[in-house]
A and B are shown apart, each in its own frame.
Chain A
């Protein structure tokens, strides 16, 4: 356990030294620190995952915090694994990516300092078991990420995104603090273990406490309707930060919910339905909005919301299994949810890294200005393709493995016989299938518009492939995708103890049955691979000695083709957007062609987030008007404010003396 803390300290120090180092050395020093930290953290993590015994360290801080326990149980180890590796990969990626910023005159000290602080804080979040210390490191995490998001603060939209993000995080933290305060005053202690008295049980206060925690952690995770900060913050941040935020940081919200679940024991049935239904809605809403986007990073941000929805529905299914006392269903649900946490980290980081390369080379995030990149950036294209296939949940890749678990769990629950459960399962099956088909739509769109076809806006000069420091993390992630996708029965045993924490009395037989199932699944997938190789070989054989010529694309006899004719992202998504027009309001600015020989025409579309318009803006407007009534208090004179403080102090002392 102390080694893990040393590892965390090294991450932090790697960032701390960056103001002292020269501009070219900040990156390598941080990457070195990240790599060194792995040496300390990974063995402890892997040992806990493999053996299942938690590591503990108790430190006595003075008055407010008291005795704080740092515990790495299998759940914490699982998340620590993700955070740690994510930190290392982003450190490597930033070596190449931040060069662009360094050459434009930015100082990277803030970046690396913030990054080191963020990763260290996230690792501490999953380890501490003391409520006050948890809030401290949670806030440090939020603030560090705020500074990272506002890296390009001279741009107005980045500033606005940063402030929106900060406020959202504080709202979430307020809910968390209320919940922790309630729990610790009821139990008289700040330690998580003592909270099981208030969280366990089926009474109303336990449910209310759970809802408070769900809201607080849900803001961080991006559950509906608290997700509105995600699509603003991720595009505004530099790519390495977006990857860490999307792949790792929002998972700390999921970690929080899981921790509360562990402390509370078997959840109330209605809460399980709530989590399940809310997550389905989150997934569907996220992916529908993703299809409407034409900014690459905003699209990926909405997909993160969708995947959090998938994770949440897995967790919800697990909770339903626990509530109904069905261990197998709980096993499938939690397996799907937890594995998807890992899977999403892998493929979302890969996609963000690829998007970063695109931005670096073409200086635009607008999909409709890209095209044909596969010829100039082949390696990035292939890796991005693998990421797209993985996120669509297609077999051979890792996304399928976790989605399969959730689907299989859902299908099994149909045998239970409860009507309300069956209706929920129906919605779950239909919802997840819908999400899968939509993800397919979205990523065929993204990949094909960005990489395939011809460039829609010509490049001034030819592009070169990304530097190795950026490609290497993507390669590592690809290997992980294929590893989990093809060799799932080998990877799943790592999760045995994590799942054992959630599904009490998990027998070896049930888990062995699960592994047998996955072995047959892998057999089918291996058959797929085998067939592919066979047919590729057949094709090669058939074309041996035959003429294979190149010509222009069949164009129905047009004489003057142009890349402007090819389909754009908005056209690709248009049929679908028409179907869901009620859910995604679109704003059109159209200047149609006029006259017989039109000279100019103009079309711009912009989609809005429905929940932000219906929910967040009215609340903000009301608050603005209400608090505007009190502006007279703020006169701008500091002395007046100090006078307020002075009067308060004197009155307080008199009151204490007189009335206590």
Chain B
């Protein structure tokens, strides 16, 4: 029963998440902003429409969004929520998580290149370049968590993460910062990319889906938002203890998501897009954090309790 509730909440969260981010940005800019569920209305509209496909594209183009959505949902099967273990869990499942998201990225890039447009090629090229920096850092982060807890699956790690010892808070904070940066990169938010425009300066994710329309675009938008919610869930797991009652776990998770959305909104409102050649440096921050996290975990594990 609780599981079904959790799944429902998880599936509905992306709409609110994006809605909240946009609301925060609008409010900060002095506007009233779109309704919270605007994304849901947009998606509903798109699902009812037909499609326009390009002459240049092949069968890969229409297949890609469905495959991406499937991959992202499959990754969700592996992620636990506070108070609710993951639906499928085994030692090393974080590897499948990362590579399934990688599969989604592969399909996205292929579809983008399929159109033969140089805009989409530009976005694709930058997207894969940034992922080369993000992936190792993500694995290092999870390595630190595995080192700390001695377990290698998401559910087991979060179940054992001791939140009362002093150094564990330090490790978790460092982890959280890195995951936040990863969220910004994977969700294509300022300062990495501007989700509102697709000018040359901000051509990463938005530009890859330029040619999509109708149900395909709906799938893609939802998949992207869902991916952000997934990473947000990992963050929630870091801070909300695992052994709480399911209902309070759910409420705490919602609170963390809301806080995260507000945080992202504020970052988007307050910072400007970093110059394209400086974006890798920004992402390297995540790598540096990850190495630091590992070093801290190693140090405390060897010296402390």
Indicate, yes or no, whether A interacts with B: yes
B78 surroundings in chain A (CB, below 8 A): 524
The interface-forming segment of B19-27, B59-67, B189-197 is B59-67
How far, in angstroms, from A532 to B223 measured CA to CA in the complex? 13
B128 touches A441 (CB 8 A): yes
How far, in angstroms, from A549 to B50 measured CA to CA in the complex? 8
A374 touches B60 (CB 8 A): yes
A438 on the B face (CB < 8 A) = yes
How far, in angstroms, from A327 to B119 measured CA to CA in the complex? 51
B110 touches A440 (CB 8 A): no
How far, in angstroms, from A525 to B219 measured CA to CA in the complex? 20
User: B49, B91, B94, B135: which contacts A437 (Cβ < 8 A)?
Assistant: B135
Closest chain A residue to B290, Cβ basis: A430
A46 to chain B, nearest CB (A): 30
Chain A proximity mask over B101-138: 1 for CB below 8 Å, otherwise 0: 01101100110011111110110111011011011111
A566 touches B118 (CB 8 A): yes
B126 touches A575 (CB 8 A): yes
How far, in angstroms, from A314 to B280 measured CA to CA in the complex? 30
Closest chain A residue to B105, Cβ basis: A440
State the 5 A-B residue pairs at the shortest beta-carbon distance, nearest first.
A567-B121, A448-B113, A453-B116, A531-B70, A546-B50
A278 on the B face (CB < 8 A) = no
B140 on the A face (CB < 8 A) = yes
A433 touches B88 (CB 8 A): no
Q: CB within 8 Å of A: which residues of B? A: 47, 49-58, 60, 62-63, 65-67, 69-71, 73-74, 77-78, 88-96, 98-100, 102-103, 105-106, 109-110, 113-119, 121-122, 124-126, 128-129, 131-132, 134-140, 142-143, 146-147, 150, 152, 210-211, 214-216, 219, 277, 280, 291, 294, 298, 301-302
B138 surroundings in chain A (CB, below 8 A): 433
How far, in angstroms, from A422 to B148 measured CA to CA in the complex? 12
A528 touches B91 (CB 8 A): no
**A395-B100, A444-B110 in contact; A539/B143 too (CB < 8 A)?**
no
How far, in angstroms, from A575 to B125 measured CA to CA in the complex? 7
A453 touches B115 (CB 8 A): yes
B106 surroundings in chain A (CB, below 8 A): 389, 392, 394, 440, 443-444
Closest chain B residue to A454, Cβ basis: B116
B77 touches A567 (CB 8 A): no
How far, in angstroms, from A632 to B124 measured CA to CA in the complex? 60
User: B56, B100, B140, B215: which contacts A528 (Cβ < 8 A)?
Assistant: B100
A520 surroundings in chain B (CB, below 8 A): 88-90
10 A-B pairs in the complex with CB atoms less than 8 angstroms apart: A378-B58, A389-B103, A403-B95, A433-B135, A445-B128, A535-B70, A542-B214, A550-B54, A553-B57, A554-B210
B214 touches A546 (CB 8 A): yes
B142 surroundings in chain A (CB, below 8 A): 411
How far, in angstroms, from A392 to B280 measured CA to CA in the complex? 22
How far, in angstroms, from A392 to B100 measured CA to CA in the complex? 12
User: A385, A389, A429, A550: which contacts B140 (Cβ < 8 A)?
Assistant: A429
How far, in angstroms, from A334 to B19 measured CA to CA in the complex? 49
B147 touches A414 (CB 8 A): yes
Closest chain B residue to A430, Cβ basis: B136
A423 surroundings in chain B (CB, below 8 A): 298
How far, in angstroms, from A574 to B118 measured CA to CA in the complex? 14
A547 touches B135 (CB 8 A): no
Closest chain B residue to A549, Cβ basis: B52
B94 surroundings in chain A (CB, below 8 A): 411
A430 touches B139 (CB 8 A): yes
A530 to chain B, nearest CB (A): 8
A201 on the B face (CB < 8 A) = no
**A542-B215, A576-B129 in contact; A524/B74 too (CB < 8 A)?**
yes
Interface residues of A in 395-452 (CB under 8 A from B): 395-396, 400, 403-404, 407-408, 411-412, 414-415, 417, 419, 422-423, 425-426, 429-434, 436-438, 440-441, 443-445, 447-449, 452
Interface residues of A in 275-316 (CB under 8 A from B): none
Closest chain B residue to A545, Cβ basis: B50
B128 surroundings in chain A (CB, below 8 A): 437, 440-441, 444-445, 576
A524 touches B132 (CB 8 A): no
User: B73, B92, B115: which contacts A407 (Cβ < 8 A)?
Assistant: B92
Closest chain B residue to A576, Cβ basis: B129
A443 surroundings in chain B (CB, below 8 A): 106
A486 to chain B, nearest CB (A): 14
A521 on the B face (CB < 8 A) = yes
A563 on the B face (CB < 8 A) = yes
A581 on the B face (CB < 8 A) = no
User: A404, A415, A454: which contacts B56 (Cβ < 8 A)?
Assistant: A454
B132 touches A438 (CB 8 A): yes
Closest chain A residue to B151, Cβ basis: A415
How far, in angstroms, from A575 to B136 measured CA to CA in the complex? 18
A555 touches B117 (CB 8 A): yes
A527 touches B74 (CB 8 A): yes
Closest chain B residue to A547, Cβ basis: B50
B27 to chain A, nearest CB (A): 32
How far, in angstroms, from A429 to B147 measured CA to CA in the complex? 12
User: B74, B116, B214: which contacts A543 (Cβ < 8 A)?
Assistant: B214
A543 touches B117 (CB 8 A): no
A613 on the B face (CB < 8 A) = no
A430 surroundings in chain B (CB, below 8 A): 136-137, 139-140
A401 to chain B, nearest CB (A): 11
A444 surroundings in chain B (CB, below 8 A): 106, 109-110, 113, 124, 128
A54 on the B face (CB < 8 A) = no
How far, in angstroms, from A629 to B287 measured CA to CA in the complex? 53
A426 touches B140 (CB 8 A): yes
B116 touches A414 (CB 8 A): no
B96 touches A521 (CB 8 A): yes
How far, in angstroms, from A320 to B46 measured CA to CA in the complex? 54
A393 on the B face (CB < 8 A) = yes
B67 touches A532 (CB 8 A): yes
**A411-B92, A415-B150, A430-B136 in contact; A440/B54 too (CB < 8 A)?**
no
How far, in angstroms, from A567 to B109 measured CA to CA in the complex? 13
How far, in angstroms, from A454 to B128 measured CA to CA in the complex? 21
B36 to chain A, nearest CB (A): 25
B125 to chain A, nearest CB (A): 4
B298 touches A543 (CB 8 A): no
A422 surroundings in chain B (CB, below 8 A): 147, 298
A358 to chain B, nearest CB (A): 16
A539 touches B62 (CB 8 A): yes
Given contacts A408-B91, A430-B136, A453-B56, 6 further A-B contacts (CB under 8 A): A394-B99, A395-B100, A407-B95, A415-B150, A422-B298, A548-B51
How far, in angstroms, from A443 to B103 measured CA to CA in the complex? 12
A408 touches B152 (CB 8 A): yes
B96 touches A524 (CB 8 A): yes
A524 surroundings in chain B (CB, below 8 A): 74, 77-78, 88, 93, 96
B131 surroundings in chain A (CB, below 8 A): 437, 440-441
A579 on the B face (CB < 8 A) = yes
A538 surroundings in chain B (CB, below 8 A): 66, 215
User: A371, A394, A448: which contacts B102 (Cβ < 8 A)?
Assistant: A394
B100 surroundings in chain A (CB, below 8 A): 395, 528
B54 touches A552 (CB 8 A): yes
How far, in angstroms, from A523 to B87 measured CA to CA in the complex? 11
Closest chain B residue to A422, Cβ basis: B298
B195 to chain A, nearest CB (A): 18
B110 touches A447 (CB 8 A): yes
A528 touches B298 (CB 8 A): no
A197 on the B face (CB < 8 A) = no
A556 on the B face (CB < 8 A) = yes
How far, in angstroms, from A523 to B280 measured CA to CA in the complex? 36
How far, in angstroms, from A242 to B223 measured CA to CA in the complex? 40
User: A408, A426, A566, A576: which contacts B116 (Cβ < 8 A)?
Assistant: A566
A528 surroundings in chain B (CB, below 8 A): 70-71, 74, 100, 103
B90 surroundings in chain A (CB, below 8 A): 517, 520-521
A573 on the B face (CB < 8 A) = yes
